[in-house]
Amino acid sequence: MPSIAQILNELKYEMVRQIAEGGMGVVYEAHQHGAGQFRKTVAVKLIREEYSSIPEFQKNFIGEARLVADLIHTNIVQTYHLGQIGGQYFMVMEYVGGQNIEQFLERHRRLGRQVPVDLAAFIVSRVARGLTYAHQKRDRDGNHLNIVHRDIGPKNVLMGYEGDVKLTDFGIAKALNLMYNEEGKVIAGKDEYLSPEQASYAVTDARADLFPLGIVLTELLLGKNIFRNADRATSRKNILTMPIPRFSTLRPDIDERLEAIIQKALQRDRELRYQSAADVLNDLEIYLYSHGYGPTNEKLGTYLRDIFGVRDRQPPVVATSMPRPPDP
């Protein structure tokens, strides 16, 4: 029986190397070939064969591909194609040369450095920009899709060496008639990046993505997730009950304006939280640019290349988190 790589090669996808692996799948760097020596670097995401035969995961994988096919935005990783080989599904996605936030934070820890405050706010503002687009997305008939990503976290935010920030992995997203969903029965998302609604098994709306967005912002600023615990249940409990600190006491260069943004994003009562990603984006951009020049893609790209020592060669990164069974 021919291998997946051999079959993909016949489909004009040359498998170059494996670049990520998760419990349920693998991501490869690949070259797509066409006429006239055309070649485009892409990422190919595969569900493992043993999961491809399970209807629940087939439905999630297909749902993700259908959902993101029409999410065309500079701050969201684009999906080009969904295919099937002998019952095993694969997705062809945009290839991003750079790092994800988890790798970015680990690099700062090794260097003993803190992420500059303005760049942390800028990165999260770009994620908020992508979320604004996704949350407002309608289908071709004009129906609001009511998309909720439900997995906002450092692994799912990619930063290219050119300075682009892109949200990826809508594998457990919720959307109208597109995605598998059992809210009230299971918890979707990673324990230390849940909204209080997710942690308490409640039905979510787009505001559920804004609490973990606040967590990512504080993790960029502090170098750690204050809710994380080795015990998953304790992480969820912390999300629900741990006192929210004043972050300016933990890092003095967090000023009152940024503190107010963080505190509003981390309101447990979603009626008191930001009501939309557009509101988060607006406040972050006022914070960044109201007094004049602020960070840009080019500034972030230069900073990223500098801390990773990248000059000419640009190592790749794609989403490292793969579809997985829902948490109990």
Question: How far is C-alpha 307 from the chain's CA centre?
Answer: 22
From the candidates 118, 151, 191, 209, which is the catalytic residue?
151
Short-list 13, 170, 23, 179, CA closest to 85: 13
Any catalytic annotation for residue 169? no
User: End-to-end CA distance of the chain, in Å?
Assistant: 37
What is the Cα–Cα distance from 43 to 94, expressed in whole angstroms? 6
3-class SS letters over 280-328 = HHHHHHHHHHCCCCCCCHHHHHHHHHHHCCCCCCCCEECCCCCCCCCEC
Contact 62, 69 (CB under 8 A): no
Q: Which residues are tagged catalytic?
A: 151
